[in-house]
Chain A
């Protein structure tokens, strides 16, 4: 069964149309990368998936049910920044999900349960390669290590879908390549369904199984908000004709130039 379904989904702010007529189905285990110019609704789409904003029209279904209208533990997220809590150590950050689940009033766990959560968290930290830094605070970790920690923190809750909002945008190229490897191996191991937003079209092509390009097929330079963005390409990654990347690059580049000139 499809894990995410979009049926004629629109997002508007007043008379500004951000997304229009989105229709797509995503199966469990797919890795969808989303690229597009700034201002083409990538972030709005992510907010719809997260539940921090609601669609103006149409339906967005998770496992056949309307998506909850606020963030909850069915969806995990890793942001570009501020993804981990800076007042907790790496281990406490990863244990947090379990503690919240088992202690609705205090949000802290004790005794045997704490031991168990610690054990699970240590295993999770090991799988993202952070077993040497379990007692460090986030400010003592490098940017790449912080994002590894954020992945561990999100994945230990076993979310139905994992959302990644330009998670590697602030990292150095070498570190980024390591993170790609890590994300791919976690995705395979844990059978995750992933939506990842990225600025980097090459990254979008390299990672995942499916690439969506958010772009404005109709664009009026005098009224850029009159028409919304749509998914202009929906490609199975790794099996598309040569030249597609060039086309996408050109089209996204044009849109972003038009939008940028106006701003």
Chain B
């Protein structure tokens, strides 16, 4: 018999093995929930699956009794808007500063120490400062995302720009390129797929900052709702919301990856 490290699961086997932990978790949850509910039918900690269906029905498909809005839809749109604006502005700033830092030594000498310093400031620690400066409106929440992920994006893109082979930069000069053309025809196109990769990595922190900001000061949003219903121990709402956020995060990541593969085949197909 072959050693364990040389044995591979088949296609079906791999899928089945991948699903197994999810199924097990679900079973463990159902058993535990059942046990608690037989003891105390009013227990709120581990609601039965039926309660989730009711909660989802209430939050997603029925207008709120108080405002007449569909709460899940409203919360989702509000959160995605903040996330989208925050990440888009961060990506744009990172692209400009990252290209400048990575390509032009005079800009790098000026800005690189500042970026390194800023990236070490814990964003959550200055959240109160943001609320004081930008008020409790949308701006403060978007700013938290921007401050949280932009330094990382800049540093990553700067590094990627510095990794562009010297040969290619010389080559472009021998083809008559000026500095600006080296940026538009070499550095920028080379960095775009890398920017998408860096944004995918930064989406985790971006969600973290978004939910933290919404938890503290907001009137709608996924993070706001979770922290609101926490007061009533409404696990039947919190858990579906968490799963929904996870699904959204997965979908965004998937779309970015697919877009990058479609738009930049040369980047994904070459051996790295």
Per the bound structure, the CA–CA distance linking A70 and B170 in Å amounts to 9
Question: Across the interface, do B185 and A107 meet the contact criterion of CB distance under 8 Å?
Answer: yes
Stretch from A78-86, A190-198, A234-242 that touches the partner = A78-86
Stretch from B8-16, B74-82, B173-181, B238-246 that touches the partner = B173-181
How many residues of chain B are within 8 Å of chain A by beta carbon? 26
Interface: B165 (CB within 8 A): yes
Interface: B189 (CB within 8 A): yes
Question: Across the interface, do B180 and A105 meet the contact criterion of CB distance under 8 Å?
Answer: yes
Stretch from A152-160, A170-178, A205-213 that touches the partner = A152-160
Q: How far is the CB of A245 from chain B (nearest CB, A)?
A: 31
Q: How far is the CB of B163 from chain A (nearest CB, A)?
A: 11
Within 8 A of B (CB), among A90-116: 96-97, 99-101, 104-108
Within 8 A of A (CB), among B235-256: none
Stretch from B99-107, B210-218, B262-270 that touches the partner = B262-270
Interface: B39 (CB within 8 A): no
Per the bound structure, the CA–CA distance linking A84 and B271 in Å amounts to 15
Question: Across the interface, do B173 and A72 meet the contact criterion of CB distance under 8 Å?
Answer: yes
Interface SS majority for chain A? loop
Per the bound structure, the CA–CA distance linking A50 and B170 in Å amounts to 9
Interface: B260 (CB within 8 A): no
Categorize the interface residue count of chain A: 35 or more
Contact of B189 among A76, A81, A87, A154 (CB under 8 A): A87
Contact of B174 among A75, A85, A106, A138 (CB under 8 A): A75
Question: Across the interface, do B167 and A87 meet the contact criterion of CB distance under 8 Å?
Answer: no
Question: Across the interface, do A97 and B175 meet the contact criterion of CB distance under 8 Å?
Answer: yes
Residues of B within 8 A of A76 (CB): 174
Residues of A within 8 A of B181 (CB): 100, 104, 107
Contact of B178 among A82, A104, A153 (CB under 8 A): A104
Residues of A within 8 A of B271 (CB): 139
Per the bound structure, the CA–CA distance linking A100 and B165 in Å amounts to 20
Residues of B within 8 A of A86 (CB): 266, 270
Interface: B184 (CB within 8 A): yes
Question: Across the interface, do A107 and B177 meet the contact criterion of CB distance under 8 Å?
Answer: yes
Interface: A73 (CB within 8 A): yes
Q: How far is the CB of A133 from chain B (nearest CB, A)?
A: 14
Given A87-B264, A87-B266, A107-B181, decide whether A77 and B186 contact each other with a Cβ distance below 8 A. Answer: no
Interface: B190 (CB within 8 A): yes
Interface: A187 (CB within 8 A): no
Per the bound structure, the CA–CA distance linking A79 and B186 in Å amounts to 17
Chain B residues at the A interface, C-beta cutoff of 8 Å? 165, 167-168, 170-178, 180-181, 184-186, 189-190, 264-267, 269-271
18 examples of A-B residue contacts, CB within 8 angstroms: A72-B173, A73-B175, A82-B171, A83-B167, A87-B264, A87-B266, A97-B175, A104-B178, A104-B181, A106-B184, A107-B180, A107-B185, A108-B184, A137-B265, A137-B269, A137-B270, A139-B271, A157-B175
Chain A residues at the B interface, C-beta cutoff of 8 Å? 50, 52, 70-73, 75-77, 79, 81-87, 96-97, 99-101, 104-108, 137-140, 153-154, 157, 159
Please name the 3 residue pairs, one residue from A and one from B, whose CB atoms are nearest each other, closest first. Answer: A73-B176, A71-B173, A139-B270
